[in-house]
Structures are given as C-alpha cells and as structure tokens.
Amino acid sequence: MRWDLITKKLLLMFIMGLVFFILTLVCEYMSRIRARRHTKYAPNSVDEEDVDVAAERKRVLRGTGRNDLLRLENLTKVYKTRKLGHHLAVDKLCIGVPQGECFGLLGVNGAGKTTTFKMLTGDIGPTSGDAYLNRYSITKDMLKVQQSIGYCPQFDSLFDELTAREHIQLYSRLRGVPPSQENQIVEWALKKLNLTPYQNRPAGTYSGGNKRKLSTAIALIGHPPLIFMDEPTTGMDPHSRRFLWDLIHGLIKDGRSIILTSHSMEECEALCTRLAIMVNGTFKCLGSIQHLKNKFGDGYTLTLRLKGPDLERSQRVARRFIMQNFPEAGIKECHHNLLQFELKDLSLSYVFSKLEEAQKDLNIEDYSVCQNTLDNVFINFVKQQTELVQERHDSTSSLPTSCLRLRPVVLATRRSTADPGDEELLADAFSSDVTIEADDEPLLNLGGTGTRLTLLNMEPVT
Ligand SMILES: Nc1ncnc2c1ncn2[C@@H]1O[C@H](COP(=O)(O)OP(=O)(O)OP(=O)(O)O)[C@@H](O)[C@H]1O
C-alpha cells in the first residue's frame, strides 16, 4: 500500500517534470522564432560591402591575419529590448590589428563602437562570432584576454572618494603588480599623465579632463599590449588633448596597439594608422586616412543660401538651374534657405562663372564651393545611420512617417529644467548628431553638449 503511494508520487513528479521540460522547450522555440522575426539586420549585407572592408574580411577569415595581435571574426551582437524586440548593434565585424597600430573606430552615437569594446573587454558576450587577442578567444579564454588589455571606458568609472594615487595603487593590486614594484608603477603613472599635482585629492573633485587622464593612467597599468580607448579626450582642453596624443604616440612607438574611438577627425588624423567608419554596426569603409581621402573625398560641395519672400519657389528655381547646368550634381541637403549639392568632374572656373551669371535671378544670398574632406566623407556615411535610426523610431511610435526629417516640438530635459532654448539647439543638432536609444523612451543625445533630451512629440520639417 505504502509502496503504491510512493510509486504514484514518483510518477506524478516525473509527469510534472516532463511537462515542465516540454514547456521550456516550447518557450525557447517560440522566443527563437520571435527573435528571427524581430531582428533588424542592416540593409547592407556582406555581399554589398566596400571593397576594402571585404578584402579585410577575406584576409582575416582566410587566416592571413593569424599573427595580428587582435582579430575579430564575424563578431556580432544582438540586444534584446522590450520595445524594439531584437536589435542588431554589431554585425559580423572582421578586422585584424597588428602590433604597433592605432586603429580608429569612427561613427555617430549608436553606431556600435562601445558595444564592440564591451564584447572585447568581456563586459558583455557576443551573440555570434569570436575575437582573438594574442590567439586567446574572447568566448573561451576571457581571463587570459583581460590580462592583456587596458581599457579606458567612455564614462570614467572612478571612485569619488579615492585619490589618483589610491586609484592607481588599487588597480595595480588588481592587476597583480608585485608589491615591490607598486610604488614605482604609481610614480610612473602619475608622472606620465601629469597627475602628480592632484595625486592626493579625491577624484570626485577633479575636472573632466583630469578624470580622463586618471582613467587613461589606469588603462596603462600592467603594460598591456592592447589598449582600448573610448573617446579618451572627451572634455579635455586643447593643451591636455595634445598631451594625451603625444602619450598615445609614445605607446604606439613602444609597439603597443591601440583601438580608439573618437568623434574628432582631427584626432584620428593625428593618431590613427588605419580607421574604419562604422554605421549601423558595420564597417562602411576602412583604410589609412590618406586612402580614404583619396577614395571618398573627391569632388566639391556647393552650398547655396537663398533669400526672398517665397523660399519654396527660390528652391525650385535654384534646383532646376543646377540640374540644367551641372547635370551630374547630386543634392546633399535641402533645408529652409540652404541647398547643398555634390559636384564632380567640373572645373571650378566653370562653376563660378555659371553661378556669378545667375546669382541675381536665382535669389542667392551667398554661395560657397569647397573641396570635400574626410569630414564630408564621415558626414555622408553617418547620414545613413541617422536615417535608419529615424526609420526605426518611426516604426515604433505614432509619429508622422511621411517625412524623414522631423523637428521636435515638445521637449523636456531628463532633469526637470526644461529650457525653451533647448528646442532650437535640438533642432540644429537633430540633423547631424542624434541617437534614439533602443532600450528607453526616445532620447536625443546632443553630441558634444552632454545634454540628453526626452522627445515627447515631433512634427515634419516643411
Ligand atoms: N544595453 C543595451 N540594450 C539595448 N540596446 C543597446 C544597449 N546598449 C546599446 N544599445 C543599442 O545598440 C546600438 C549601439 O550602441 P553603442 O553604445 O555601441 O553605440 P556607440 O557607437 O558606442 O555610440 P556612442 O558614440 O554614443 O558611444 C544603439 O542603437 C544602442 O541604442
């Protein structure tokens, strides 16, 4: 009788276990199907990528870059968010970075730079693909990888109460510096980053620039062969910036490799041996600065500022004139009284003579013709990111979808200090440097200003 009861209970437990197991399998299957349905893959597939990016992919995957210090093989990250489902932040990156190279990662807010760093430093795991540092895999030997890297994160992760000296001591111990060498390392780091005058002050009292210096000092402890620097000069004055650039040059000469993200072309020109521009998690171009300038920086940008009571009409007339006289011209910007065109294969004298002739008839206030630089190349690539972000936002909100460019009309800062002037600032920033965060309510990140505004409503720009 008792055995009967025990057998029944065991049978019941087994059946419950089986049901639970089947339910788990069903849930897992459903979530995979949902993931596949919701994951937004970048429109630019590997087949359509730039020849230099494709060549690097081939080189890395063929194994020719086996001796590179850092190797990324199809590194991919998909974030899972409540509002947007699955969001592809980094898409099959392939790159090899040899010893002694400073590699620049450029891209607007939200391009996927920090996510790439986070995967390489073990902050988050990749969804697929792998990366190797000194042949150690980030998916299998993260501890070994972490021993060989230094990381200066985008946001200083410092303890307000600790001094610079205490920070360096702390991280020296964490990195396993022998006690006999600790003092020497601390003095070296303080001197190297010009922090000696502040060594005994709590880090909470430092200026933004000195905090960045301390974060850099921490990244250098233990002499790592590879250092990740996420916007290292943000908040630094020009003098401190030059100082840090010299330091980075010294590190490269020493044979260390550096992966740097920056929003400054000038910084990349000063430091990077090669760079890649990242858009929507993929590389859009890759190579030395000179190569990218030669490849993408040709032609001119013609900017017209129009005047007159009927700007719409002036715009129509000006566009017709440009298309008739410079049929190869492509429109770049059309905003209020400003029109921008890209001109190729035209002599400057021809452009100027035509414009001088027509200046009055076209209601042109003033105009300029300038040679395209790497900045223009960057802005052109970056527009693709802004447009995709905008599309994503449109598809997840009830905002008007007919117009790509939108102007924010109701704003509130994250803090409760909404300033009416912000609206103008935001309208300006919106066309160039904007992120709508995927995991939060729509937020606009005003590049450089550090301001984050919540977007409550939008209206199409007419
Ligand atoms: N924890 C997260 N959950 C969901 N989505 C995220 C998360 N972190 C980042 N993202 C999204 O992934 C994309 C890439 O973000 P990432 O921070 O890597 O960009 P970034 O190029 O480093 O930008 P920034 O220049 O502002 O640092 C963005 O669309 C961002 O909204």
The separation between CA 196 and the C-alpha centre of its own chain, rounded to angstroms, equals: 33
Q: Is 50 exceeded by the pLDDT of residue 433?
A: no
- Does residue 34 carry a pLDDT above 90? no
pLDDT digits (tens, 9 = 90+) for 98-118: 999 999 998 888 899 999 999
Q: How far is the CA of 112 from the centre of ligand 1 (A)?
A: 6
Mutate to test the pocket of ligand 1, among 41, 80, 113 (most ligand atoms within 8 A of CB): 113
CA–CA distance, 204 with 161 (Å, rounded to integer): 6
pLDDT in the model for residue 67 = 87
pLDDT (tens digit per residue) in 130-182: 999 988 999 999 999 998 999 998 888 899 999 999 999 999 998 888 889 89
- Residue 290 CB contacts under 8 Å (≥ 6 apart), including other chains: none
Q: In which band, very low, low, confident or very high, does the pLDDT at 419 lie, cut at 50, 70 and 90?
A: very low
What's phi and psi for 41, nearest 5 deg?
-85, 140
Spell out the residues 6+ positions from residue 214 whose beta carbon is closer than 8 angstroms to its own.
Answer: 156, 158, 164, 167, 193, 195, 203, 206
What does the pLDDT read at residue 391?
Answer: 55
**452/442 Cα distance (integer angstroms):** 10
Q: ipTM value, please give it.
A: 0.97
Q: How far is the CA of 365 from the centre of ligand 1 (A)?
A: 41
Q: Which CATH architecture group holds 46-148+224-294?
A: 3-Layer(aba) Sandwich (3.40)
Q: Which residues pair with 306 in a beta bridge?
A: 364
265-268 LR contacts (CB < 8 Å, sep 24+)? 265/106, 265/373, 265/374, 265/375, 265/378, 267/233, 267/241, 268/104, 268/106
Q: Are 211 and 203 spatial neighbours (Cβ–Cβ below 8 Å)?
A: yes
Of 22-26, 50-54, 378-382, 426-430, least confident by mean pLDDT is: 426-430
Nearest CA to ligand 1 atom 26: 109
Give pLDDT, residue 46: 56
- Structure-block tokens of residue 29: 């299957």
Q: Is 440 in the pocket of ligand 1 (CB under 6 A)?
A: no
Confidence band, pLDDT 50/70/90 cuts, at residue 225 = very high
Q: pLDDT confidence of 382, banded at 50, 70, 90? A: confident
Share of the chain above pLDDT 90, in %: 36
Q: 450 CB under 6 A from ligand 1?
A: no
Q: Measured from the CB, is residue 115 less than 6 Å from ligand 1?
A: yes
| Residue ID of nearest Cα to ligand 1 atom 28 | 110
C-alpha 170/C-alpha 190 separation (Å) is 14
Mean pLDDT value of segment 377-397: 60
Classify 299-371 by CATH class. Answer: alpha beta
Phi, psi for 216 (deg, rounded to 5): -65, -40
Q: Tell me if 87 CB under 6 Å of ligand 1.
A: yes
For residues 320-329, average pLDDT = 89
Distance from C-alpha of 78 to C-alpha of 71, rounded to nearest angstrom: 20
CB 344 within 8 A of CB 369: no
203 lines ligand 1 (CB under 6 A): no
Q: How far is the CA of 265 from the centre of ligand 1 (A)?
A: 21
State mean pLDDT over 299-311.
85
State which ligand 1 atom lies nearest to the alpha carbon of 278: 21
When pLDDT is cut at 50, 70 and 90, the band that residue 43 belongs to is: very low
Tens digits of residue pLDDT in 242-256? 999 999 999 999 999
> What's residue 348's pLDDT?
82
Report the percentage of the chain scoring pLDDT > 70. 78
Work out the pLDDT band at 390, boundaries 50, 70, 90. low
Maximum mean pLDDT: which of 216-230, 303-317, 362-376, 423-437: 216-230
Determine how β-strand 300-306 pairs with β-strand 338-343: antiparallel
The pLDDT of residue 449:
35
Mean pLDDT of the chain: 78
Task: Give the whole-angstrom CA distance, residue 89 versus residue 66.
Answer: 26
Number of C-beta neighbours around residue 242 at 10 A: 13
Q: In this structure, are residues 139 and 124 in contact, taking their beta carbons and an 8 Å threshold?
A: no
CA of 194 to the centre of ligand 1 (A): 32
Residue 436: name the closest of 42, 109, 80 by CA.
Answer: 109
What mean pLDDT is predicted for residues 400-404? 26
Q: Are 181 and 212 in contact (CB under 8 A)?
A: no
Q: Tell which atom from ligand 1 comes closest to the C-alpha of 110.
A: 19
Residue 13 is predicted with a pLDDT of 87
- Under a CB-based contact definition with an 8 Å cutoff, are residues 148 and 133 in contact? yes
